[in-house]
Structure 1
Amino acid sequence: MHLLLRRPRRFFCNRPTPTIPHLCVLNRVYPPVSGATGTLLSELTPALVRRGWRVTVLTGPAPDAPRTEVTEDGVHVERVRALPFTRERTWQRGLAYASLFPAFVARALQIPAPDVIVTKTDPPMLKVLGPLLERLTGARTVHWAQDLYPEVAAGVDVIGTDGLLARTMRRLSTWALRNHHHVVAVGRCMQERLVQERGLSESKVSVIPNWPPSEVAPIPHDQNPFRDQHDLHDRFVVMYSGNMGLAHPFDAVLDAAARLATEQPEVLFLFVGEGPRKDELQAQVDQRSLSNVRFLPFQPREKLAQSLSAADLHLVTMESELEGLVVPSKLYGALGVGRPALFLGPPGSEAARLVESHNCGTVLPSPSGLRLAEAIEEWHADPNRWAEASERAHRAVSSARAEAIEQFDRLFRTVLET
């Protein structure tokens, strides 16, 4: 096996004449399959094509989508066969994840040899394929870290913190990170963890924040059909939009809803999305008879601007133990439609730093239902403060996508030349 990994890359791949650099990205989801990581890729990859890259995305299966296609934007999409993905049981999800690894390797060796390979973090531990594919193809490798595993899994009690599985995964993860040519973190808090806890040099880790989806733009309430459709015009809407997952605490949110149900009944808590905790949240709302809480399903991408703009405030929540391990992507959509954000999470997180540096919301590191209710009341009572913060929120991320595209293009070309 050792000799096999050291064979020349031309033995395995059909490498074209290197007139156009070839970038290959591995990620479980890509449109039409929904998911935050796939949405980011679908906006970055066409921009890189326009900047002179040949781009191939290796991704999981998609119903009714061809296994191989070239999109209208010029992105080559290769969908591999894998077990169907489900969130119902952890072991089934793990098997679905595991089935992608050999499928990605096999397809990576069938396409024209890439010059740069990018591994993302869906599925978890996908980074381990980077060093392997470097040996097999000769490509330079970059890991784009949306989160850090196995610490995230341990932080939400999916695996034990100090068990054999966690220790083994951490060693393997650290080995993989150190053997990529470069690592991209989505926040300064994550960069700090990679340097201080994983031993990576600062020069090897770049910070490129995420950005709002391109469809997202502010829509005034009186021009928003979503507020008409859902009878929201007389309500002050506090929205949680996105995955209701294990990394997101909600106790303070429901406690605040209970307090405001009688004190300010015009305040409506609107949960938009799905996730493993949705059934639990709905059950708690029913048990507490919270008439000021509603649930809606995920909204299609073409209605995302309407949905997000329907809010007056956005809730973004994160467990304190996950500081530096994840950066909630839902914050960028909230700011993209020009709405202040209430961040319930650690003050050192990139999310907290963004909200505070642009003065476009409130950071509550250890929120109680009382403190959250008071913060909502303060925003509701001061329309001028709300309007000014809304403008700052939109400005905070208005150029984030263009800046990220420039940074990624420059980084990939630098990696290619080293």
Structure 2
Amino acid sequence: MRIFVNEFCGHPFQIQLSRELVIRGHEVEHVYFSGNLSTPKGAVEAANTAHRLNISGLNIKRAFEKHSIRSRRAADIEYGMAVAEAVSRFKPDVVISANMPLDAQKILLKAARKHNAKFIYWLQDVYSMAVRFVLARRQKILANIGGAYYESLEKKLLRQSDSIVCISDSFVDYVKDWGIEEEKIHLIENWSPLDEITPMSKDNPWARENGVAQKFCFMYSGTLGMKHRPELLLCLAKHLDATREAILIVNAAGAGADWLRDQTKDISPEAFRLHPFQPYERLSEVMATADVLIALLDSDAGKFAVPSKTLAYLCAARPILMAAPNVNQAAKVIQAAKAGLLVSPDSPEDFVFAARKFIDNPHERAAYAKQARAYAERNFNIGHIADRFLNLIRHDRCGQTARLFPRDCELD
């Protein structure tokens, strides 16, 4: 089978899925947007060595300004056209699309139809809700108009898709409430590659290079937008600047990282450091440097976003301090795994207090770390995950849905 995977961000776990599909005998074209520098990329070059797997970073002529209302839509449309051209060249049987801006998704879905390819909408974010969230911080009227337009478009694209993969129960509920046929909706939660992020000693090359192998480290690693509440990191940085009992390291890019850089100019590098994204191949070292890993999400953003960084944290076998609404899928996972502490993103005091609790309780940290990796090993088996996607792709032929695993449905 010829499978075309479009994943706008270039995340590692989707690349891992493409590799596994190739191992099963399928031919896979995997594309992502190389011009989006605000999200970390997976092991693209290493993955591209496999036979029958081609991974391409697609770019556009115009500069990509993620947060510019004026130019963002035009850039999204241009990327959609680039992906549509790639579909025309590859002529797939199936198109799987994730993290795709809706204006681009519309173009891609049309291209899939033109080539009689099955279209699977991998719903990683409720995009129209994200648009409302971002625009509401600028102008309420604009948020209402833009949100209504993109909600209408999102519903239309979901209805036109052959199948929808939701990554959380709450996303399933949203899609059902929009009147989408229930038989098209499938739940497959996100994961992180177990073999790419492995537990390591804190005293490792990255830690020594940065002079923190012997210091207690809090760490945030990944995209940092304003929906991630960077002000909580500022509060912790100020606390550590006063106490000098630990250091906060942030490896990030995005609007939140830019804001944090401006706000921390007077804080000592002994208490806070801001780095760009670190090389993916060194991520195990980077995360092992942390005594505690941090995940953040705004109360309102918890409705439409599920931060995948928390899944990588689980693989790294480190305790997690998460500030997020408890209804968020990532927060539920941390609680189910018993991998750390969850606090409200609306309480800086509770966030700093929880951080202090981690410093004072090494035995609890060790227990959380062990439970984090154990959860990942139980739930992130790529073979089982690929089975579910292949069942989904073939459910029409087998007369089953992705929730079922019929023994007589061959999954080669």
Residue identity in the other structure for 1:409: L
Aligned equivalent of 1:319, options 281, 298, 316:
298
2:369 pairs with 1:390: yes
Q: Which residue of 1 aligns with 2:17?
A: 44
1:417 deviation in Å?
A: 5.0
2:127 pairs with 1:146: no
Which stretch shows the higher mean deviation, 330-339 or 394-403? Answer: 394-403
1:319 deviation in Å?
A: 1.2
Q: Which residue of 1 aligns with 2:111?
A: 133
Residue identity in the other structure for 1:25: V
Pair 81,415 (structure 1): closer, same or farther in 2 beyond 3 Å? farther
**Alignment map for 1:6-405 (pairs within 5 Å):** 21-28=1-8, 35-36=10-11, 39-60=12-33, 71-77=49-55, 82-87=60-65, 90=68, 91-111=70-90, 113-129=91-107, 131-157=109-135, 162-196=143-177, 198-213=178-193, 214-222=195-203, 224-263=204-243, 265-287=244-266, 291-398=270-377, 399-402=379-382, 403-405=384-386
8 Å Cα contact 1:339-1:393 kept in structure 2: yes
- TM-score by length of structure 2 reads 0.84
1:99 deviation in Å?
A: 0.5
Pair 316,235 (structure 1): closer, same or farther in 2 beyond 3 Å? same
Pair 321,115 (structure 1): closer, same or farther in 2 beyond 3 Å? same
- TM-score by length of structure 1 reads 0.83
Residue identity in the other structure for 2:238: A
1:168 deviation in Å?
A: 1.9
Structure 2: distance between partners of 1:71 and 1:228: 32
Larger radius of gyration: 1
- For the residue of structure 1 that corresponds to 2:29, the secondary structure is strand
- For the residue of structure 2 that corresponds to 1:323, the secondary structure is helix
Residue identity in the other structure for 2:60: A
Structure 2: distance between partners of 1:371 and 1:394: 26
8 Å Cα contact 1:268-1:293 kept in structure 2: yes
2:387 pairs with 1:406: yes
Structure 2: distance between partners of 1:333 and 1:59: 20
Deviation string 1:37-83 (CA, Å, 9 cap, x unpaired) is xx223211111011122212344468xxxxxx974342134665622
8 Å Cα contact 1:308-1:334 kept in structure 2: yes
Identity %: 22
1:355 deviation in Å?
A: 0.8
8 Å Cα contact 1:127-1:173 kept in structure 2: no
Q: Which residue of 1 aligns with 2:40?
A: none
8 Å Cα contact 2:83-2:108 kept in structure 1: no
- For the residue of structure 2 that corresponds to 1:210, the secondary structure is coil
8 Å Cα contact 1:23-1:117 kept in structure 2: yes
8 Å Cα contact 2:80-2:103 kept in structure 1: no
Q: Where does the alignment leave 5 or more consecutive residues of structure 2 unmatched?
A: 36-46, 400-412
Deviation string 1:130-176 (CA, Å, 9 cap, x unpaired) is 54234312222110111121211211227756533322221111011
Deviation string 1:245-304 (CA, Å, 9 cap, x unpaired) is 1321022232233234334x2211110122122222012112566851111221111101
Q: Which residue of 1 aligns with 2:38?
A: none
8 Å Cα contact 1:343-1:361 kept in structure 2: yes
Structure 2: distance between partners of 1:80 and 1:250: 30
Q: Which residue of 2 aligns with 1:17?
A: none
Residue identity in the other structure for 1:257: A
